Amino acid sequence: MTKVYSFLYSFGDQMLDYVWFPLLIWTVLAIPFTLLLKWTEKISPVYQYHCRIGLQLTLPLGIIGAALAPFFTSTSAATQSMAFIVVKNPLPSVSAPSSSSAAFTFSDPMLWVGLMSVITILGALFFLAKMLFQLLQLKKMELTHHFRPLYQCRELVSNLPKIDKHAANTLIAYSKEATIPYTYGWRNTKIVIPADLKSDSDALCMAVQHELMHIKHNDFLFNTINIFVRSLFWFHPLLHYLYNSSEEYREITCDNEVLAQNTFSKKQYASLLYELAQREYRTQLAMSMAVNPSSLKKRIKILSDNTNFTSKLRTSFLIALTSAVFIVLAISCTDMTDGGITKPEVNQAQDEMQKPPKPASPLYVINGEQWTDKNKIKNELAGLKTKYIKSIDVLKGDKAKEKYGKAGESGVIEIQINNPDKAFTDLKDKNSVEPPPKKKDHFVAVEKMPELIGGLASLQKKIDYPEMARKAGIEGRVIVQFIVNEQGQVENPQVIRGIGGGADKEALRVIKQAKFKPGTQQDQKVRVQYSLPITFRLQTSD
């Protein structure tokens, strides 16, 4: 049972980072866009269609972008340096149990995240299998229909507007089973027309011309991709709404483009839609893009409301593409932090681990397990990649001794690690040595990190507690990030985690006075990104 729990915990933690968190960001960004499209009826149908298609595609692209984002930065770059949105993990930080521990609790939220992720994947596999079955059904259906190239239907082609070579090679068949015209296929596109329309040349021409618009816009390809996305995220109601509404606007876009050619009258076209709307609807394969006749009534209404429509496909595509790129970048460049831990803080801690052990070294506790092997700490713990470190807590004095007894006399460093089995096999490359930085560049981790002259206590003594913060009872820790240059001076200090009440400004003032021994890389003094915590604590009076 412990193995199942450990798997669910690790799997849930990975899914939270790579799927659920990007999915949450997508939802937050997509809802305002969707409401704008829904409430602004004056937006052209072609814009409505492309924007809805774009919103659906941004979800998988955003998740892929978020997963690949770390690979676009150097191995020394901070994880949060490319994140312009940082969100605190809403789940409490609970360490995964060690393999020797048999105890577990169903109250652990990460366990339920893992279980929910497994159910989600099983559901996705079911819907993907259903999608594959429908594709096979379409291929099987071809055996019962006689398809021939459109250019061989000379009488039909002569009544159509001018068509290009690709449209002329489209395959067409007449079906007694079909009640609604539909199109399918990527390369060898095929049109299926109800057999009874063959006797009405005008209705046949309008139906075929409408399907040719689908082929021109590659609608079957987009429809297939969106069904794939909907299958993966079958549980998300917003995706279902976007898919269903995009179906309607896809048809409306083709309707308007057919009428824009001025070959058929609006009255004739509306009559065809009305006649199709009265037909009994036989469930069609979703992959075929056959539309429920109930949506035809809305299409007729929009035809009567729009007396002059010109498709602006290129402009619409650019608008949708720009919006989609913005959302994908927002998802890719959003990061989740646990308790404010930053990569510079992790690198500083690991730099300390690699130094020769002092007579009184702190106790390292990893996921509840005490580590006492100095070589193991230096070689494995110091080589951990930041993405696997969930949190670092430092215990000192009585608090450390109370929790760990004599072993905690020199202090305790508690580290919680995600997926420890993978974390300790995916260590940093020890042989990768970075060259000295170019002018104005800086490192995040170097062979020898800068050392604060006088220690952190010397800075704490310089703090003047802001009156505003004192009156408001504000206290806490302000983290300031800055560059230590080759002369040991502080450059570009910025508050990356503040508490307000004037404390942030006071922390910046104190940090600007700090002096360091410069950091070195390959025995050269270099510019190093660094961060320090400044603690504001009100004195309690007895």
Between CA 204 and CA 215, with CA 209 as vertex, the angle to 5 degrees is: 130
Domain-wise residue ranges, the chain? 1-134+218-335, 341-432, 433-542
Q: Are 285 and 137 in contact (CB under 8 A)?
A: yes
Is the CATH code 3.40.50.620 the one for domain 433-542?
no
pLDDT tens readout for residues 365-383:
888 888 877 767 666 776 7
The string over 246-268, giving b where at least 16 C-beta atoms fall within 10 Å of a residue's C-beta and e elsewhere, is bbbbbbbbbbbbbbeeebbeeee
Beta bridge partners of 414: 365, 393
The C-alpha atoms of residue 290 and residue 283 are separated, in whole angstroms, by 9
Query: Which of helix, strand or coil describes residue 427?
Result: coil
pLDDT tens readout for residues 280-291:
665 455 555 566
pLDDT tens readout for residues 382-431:
677 776 777 777 788 888 888 888 888 888 888 888 777 777 777 765 54
What angle in degrees, to the nearest 10, is found between the helix axes of 237-260 and 266-277? 140
Which pLDDT score is estimated for 192?
92
The mean pLDDT value for 180-205 works out to: 89
The mean pLDDT value for 23-43 works out to: 88
The residue among 65 and 191 whose pLDDT is bigger is 191
The residue among 58 and 538 whose pLDDT is bigger is 58
Poorest-confidence range of 11-15, 151-155, 306-310? 306-310
Torsion sign across C-alpha atoms 462, 468, 472, 474: negative
* Token pair 């939802």 in the structure block, residue: 27
Beta bridge partners of 494: 481
The mean pLDDT value for 42-58 works out to: 87
Torsion sign across C-alpha atoms 22, 28, 29, 33: positive
DSSP β-ladder status, 490-497 and 412-417 = unpaired
Beta bridge partners of 172: 148, 191
Show the 3-state SS of 171-228: EEEEECCCCCCEEECCCCCEEEEEHHHHHCHHHHHHHHHHHHHHHHCCHHHHHHHHHH
pLDDT tens readout for residues 448-471:
889 988 888 788 788 888 888 888
Which pLDDT score is estimated for 348?
57
